[in-house]
Amino acid sequence: MDADVAEQLAGERVLLTGGAGFLGSAVRRRLEEHGCDVCVPRSREYDLRLESEVDRVYRDMQPTVVIHAAAVVGGIGYNRDAPASIFDDNARMNLFLLSKAREHGARKFVGIGTICAYPKTPPSIPFREEELWHGYPEETNAPYGFAKKLLLVQGQAYAQQYGYNATHLLVVNLYGPGDNFDEASSHVIPAMVRRFMEARDDGRDEVVCWGDGTPTREFLYVEDGARAIVRAASLYDSPAPVNIGSGYEISMRALAETIADVVGYTGTIAWDTSKPNGQPRRLLDTSRAASEFGFRAETPFRDGLCRTVEWYERARA
Ligand X SMILES: NC(=O)c1ccc[n+]([C@@H]2O[C@H](COP(=O)([O-])OP(=O)(O)OC[C@H]3O[C@@H](n4cnc5c(N)ncnc54)[C@H](OP(=O)(O)O)[C@@H]3O)[C@@H](O)[C@H]2O)c1
Among positions 39, 174, 188, 209, the unique one binding ligand X when judged by CB under 6 A: 174
Binding residues with ligand X: total (CB under 6 A): 25
Residue of the chain from 5, 67, 70, 259 that contacts ligand X (CB under 6 A): 70
Min dist CB 171 to ligand X, Å, is 4
Residue 177 binds ligand X, judged by CB under 6 A: no
Minimum CB separation of residue 231 from ligand X in Å reads 16
| Spacing of C-alpha 204 from chain mean position | 33
Do 122 and 131 contact (CB within 8 A), yes or no?
yes
Q: How far is the CB of 266 from ligand X (least distance, A)?
A: 28
To ligand X, the closest distance from the beta carbon of 64 in angstroms equals 20
φ, ψ for residue 271, nearest 5 deg: -120, 125
By C-alpha distance, which of 33, 168, 47, 34 is closest to 109? 168
Read off φ and ψ for residue 150, nearest 5 degrees: -60, -40
Could you say which of 28, 30, 34, 49 contacts ligand X (CB under 6 A)?
Answer: 49
Near ligand X by CB under 6 A: residue from 79, 94, 114, 279: 114
**Which of 170, 197 has the CB closer to ligand X?**
170
Applying CB under 6 A, does 63 fall inside the site for ligand X? no
Provide the β-strand partners of residue 181. Answer: none
According to the binding rule CB under 6 A, does residue 227 interact with ligand X? no
112 binds ligand X (CB under 6 A): yes
Tell me the residue type at 176.
G
At 173, give phi and psi (nearest 5°).
-55, 130
| Residue 142 or 199 having the CB closest to ligand X | 142
CA 206, 209, 211, 212 torsion-angle sign: negative
Footprint (CB under 6 A) of ligand X, residues 13-32: 17-18, 20-24
Query: Residue type for 203, please?
Result: G
Q: Which of 71, 91, 110, 263 binds ligand X (CB under 6 A)?
A: 71
Among positions 11, 33, 42, 306, the unique one binding ligand X when judged by CB under 6 A: 42
**Annotation says 236 is catalytic:** no
Nearest approach, Cβ of 124 to ligand X (angstroms)?
21
Question: Looking at 58, 144, 221, 312, which residue is catalytic?
Answer: 144
Cα angle 214, 224, 171; round to 5: 55
Please list every residue from 279 through 308 that binds ligand X, using CB under 6 A: none
Q: Which stretches of the chain bind ligand X, using CB under 6 A?
A: 17-18, 20-24, 42-43, 46-49, 69-73, 112, 114, 171, 173-174, 180, 187
